[in-house]
Chains A and B, each alone.
Chain A
Amino acid sequence: MLRSKTKMLQLAVTLLACAFLFVPIVMSVLAGLTANYFQGVSSGLTLKWVFEVWELYANSIFLSMGIAFACLICTVIIGVPAAYGLARHPGWMSRMLEEFISLPLAIPGLALALALLQLYGSMQGFRASWTFILVGHVLYTLPFMVRSILAVLASMDLKTLEEGAASLGASPWQRFRDIVVPNAMPGILAGALTVVTLSIGEFNLTWMLHTPYLKTLPVGLADSYASMRLEIASAYTLVFFILIVPLLMAMQWASARAQRIAK
């Protein structure tokens, strides 16, 4: 009896937490599709606000996708060889380097943005271009990519596999291409989805790094929350959800798969 009472209590807490997280999302989706939020859903459902958002913010959405894609390419180019290097060269130097590049996970984005602005803020050409935002995004997402690959590499006997390939005549580059990258693929995939998801949603760094001509999706969101009517803000949030939720689900699936393989 007592057992089932505790269970009921646990269930109640779980459902309450679900409601707390989910009700505002539903409200936001509804508000974005309602003709007039103050009159309620009875005023009719419409896609008017979504179209208006598209007109107002399509550039922001495309900029975010472009930056996310560029960020993915940068993290792959830097992260895949780096993860391999860290896995093959363990020691205090590698641990320090890994710890150091993980700093952006711990330090608030605001502080990182300030640091970048302090050093590069006066370089106008760089400061005003989209690559400045890209640098911030790569800084923030790179540790996720590196760690995701490292976890997969650490689970296999990389050294012996490579020795096997070397004994068959493969050069270091051929070993990297034929053995390391294919076997690290689950980690690269999970890392890639994480990078894109985080890049599209990144606000803390971007808010400080952006210029009035370069607004990413979340910067546009903040903008609409401050200055647009509730329906437009909600419709924009809805567009964001449509973009981010499938990515999040793919990312969770890929991470679970990489973890399974790592075991």
Chain B
Amino acid sequence: MTLRLTHTAKTYPDGTKALLPTELSVCKGEIVSLLGPSGCGKTTLLRIIAGLETPDAGSDIWFDDDNVTALAVEDRQVGMVFQSYALFPNMSVRANIGYGLKMQKLPKAEIDARVTEVLEMCQLQPFASRAITALSGGQRQRVALARAIAPRPRLLLLDEPLSALDASLRESLRDELAVLLREFDITAIFVTHDQDEAMAIADRVAVMSHGRVVQSGSPEELYRNPTSSFVAGFVGNAMALSGKADGTTLHLEGGTLTLPSDGAGQTVYVRAEDVRIEESGPLRGKVEAVTFLGTHYRVVISGVTSGAIASIHSGQIAPKVGDFVNMSINPEALMLLPTEADVA
């Protein structure tokens, strides 16, 4: 199914603008992530698509050629995975998964067959007759997904589906979820504040800030070519190198860098993995902290620019706190973005 939102906005009765007029299209089978910090409007947007929130007048929501703006949630045929899962405690796993099919008044035999099929897909057969309270967090998450998918919805919506899980479990379920969603071959939108999660699961990420979609594109696109300092900072934690640009030369506290293009009116960003510690580097700073992270060290260095910058250092030996080190940055790794008065 293709989803199309035109001019969709949400203003609360107290005047708070949770969502500014937004245009969004999601193609058939595409998995889109809404990524942003809390309060950016991503959950509001998801709930408007689901029909759980009424958008402002003038908003239009299209499922293929049907305008569903006025339809109640129960008539939209969407599947939804809630942050808290919202599993019915009065029903078994099987009854939870079959509930949507029961609402469609399917014959009992067909419901049983479909539930069994979904249970198998989500590897939940051993738990079919368990009570919800007897499940672990990861199992509950899978039941919630199975329940949402069982009625074959036109669109699957997931609201921070992994945030209620432990960090260790979250990573393994993230990959599992990415595989399952592609197996289902369904149009899906999921909301998250975790950039790793968005990148691992989605075909396309829409970054949101202050009620707007600020940039939308494939994970690589967002990472390599952010169009705003917000996206650069939120996706991949780019650090600003604040200095004085003179043509293609950037003068910093700790040295000078060559820019790939004219730096007038631009702010220069770099990511920690592109800051290389090497003897011959043109930048110099003082090591403030060194953290050993197994595969690499994270070295925090001051004196290069006004704030501290970090470097991912994969050598066998790390510099010590208090040492002075030299660094180099490839000109291609520098990102020049228009300086914003108001950093959104």
A/B contact in complex, CB under 8 angstroms: yes
Interface residues of A (CB under 8 A from B): 156-157, 160-161, 163-171, 174, 178-179, 182-183, 185
Excluding A160-B82, A164-B87, A182-B91, 10 further A-B contacts by CB distance (< 8 Å) are A161-B88, A164-B88, A165-B99, A166-B74, A168-B99, A169-B75, A169-B151, A170-B99, A179-B88, A179-B90
| Interface Cβ pair total, 8 Å cutoff | 65
- CB pair B84–A168 under 8 Å, yes or no, is no
- CB pair B90–A182 under 8 Å, yes or no, is yes
* Chain A residues positioned under 8 Å from B75 (CB to CB): 169
| Between-chain CB contacts (< 8 Å), 8 pairs | A157-B86, A164-B85, A166-B52, A168-B100, A168-B147, A170-B74, A178-B88, A185-B90
Contact of B78 with A by CB under 8 A: yes
* Chain B residues positioned under 8 Å from A170 (CB to CB): 74, 99, 103
* Chain B residues positioned under 8 Å from A163 (CB to CB): 52, 73, 80, 82, 86
Pairs A-B, 8 closest by C-beta atoms: A164-B86, A168-B100, A169-B103, A182-B90, A167-B80, A166-B73, A160-B86, A166-B74
Distance A167 CA – B296 CA, assembled complex (angstroms): 45
- CB pair B88–A165 under 8 Å, yes or no, is yes
* Chain A residues positioned under 8 Å from B148 (CB to CB): 167-168
Distance A167 CA – B148 CA, assembled complex (angstroms): 8
Distance A163 CA – B81 CA, assembled complex (angstroms): 10
* Chain B residues positioned under 8 Å from A182 (CB to CB): 90-91
- CB pair A157–B84 under 8 Å, yes or no, is yes
Given contacts A160-B84, A169-B151, contact A178 B99 (CB under 8 A): yes
Distance A163 CA – B52 CA, assembled complex (angstroms): 7
Residue of A nearest to B50 (CB): A167
Within 8 A of A (CB), among B64-113: 72-75, 77-80, 82, 84-91, 99-100, 103-104
Most central of B50, B52, B73, B86 by chain A CB within 10 Å: B86
Distance A165 CA – B102 CA, assembled complex (angstroms): 11
Minimum Cβ distance to chain A for residue B191 (Å): 14
* Chain B residues positioned under 8 Å from A185 (CB to CB): 90
* Chain A residues positioned under 8 Å from B103 (CB to CB): 168-170, 174
Within 8 A of A (CB), among B291-336: none
Minimum Cβ distance to chain B for residue A165 (Å): 7
Residue of A nearest to B88 (CB): A179
Residue of B nearest to A180 (CB): B90
Minimum Cβ distance to chain A for residue B28 (Å): 20
* Chain A residues positioned under 8 Å from B77 (CB to CB): 169
- CB pair A167–B78 under 8 Å, yes or no, is yes
- CB pair A183–B90 under 8 Å, yes or no, is yes
Minimum Cβ distance to chain B for residue A261 (Å): 10
Minimum Cβ distance to chain B for residue A158 (Å): 10
Given contacts A163-B52, A164-B80, A174-B103, contact A169 B86 (CB under 8 A): no
Within 8 A of A (CB), among B167-214: none
Residue of A nearest to B52 (CB): A163
Select B151's contact among A156, A157, A168, beta carbons within 8 Å.
A168
Minimum Cβ distance to chain B for residue A198 (Å): 28
Distance A179 CA – B79 CA, assembled complex (angstroms): 18
Distance A164 CA – B150 CA, assembled complex (angstroms): 13
* Chain A residues positioned under 8 Å from B82 (CB to CB): 160, 163-164
- CB pair B72–A166 under 8 Å, yes or no, is yes
Distance A163 CA – B157 CA, assembled complex (angstroms): 13
Residue of B nearest to A183 (CB): B90
Distance A185 CA – B91 CA, assembled complex (angstroms): 13
Distance A168 CA – B106 CA, assembled complex (angstroms): 13
* Chain A residues positioned under 8 Å from B74 (CB to CB): 166-171
Residue of B nearest to A172 (CB): B74
Minimum Cβ distance to chain A for residue B186 (Å): 14
Residue of A nearest to B104 (CB): A169
* Chain B residues positioned under 8 Å from A165 (CB to CB): 88, 99
Distance A6 CA – B157 CA, assembled complex (angstroms): 64
* Chain B residues positioned under 8 Å from A168 (CB to CB): 74, 79, 99-100, 103, 147-148, 151
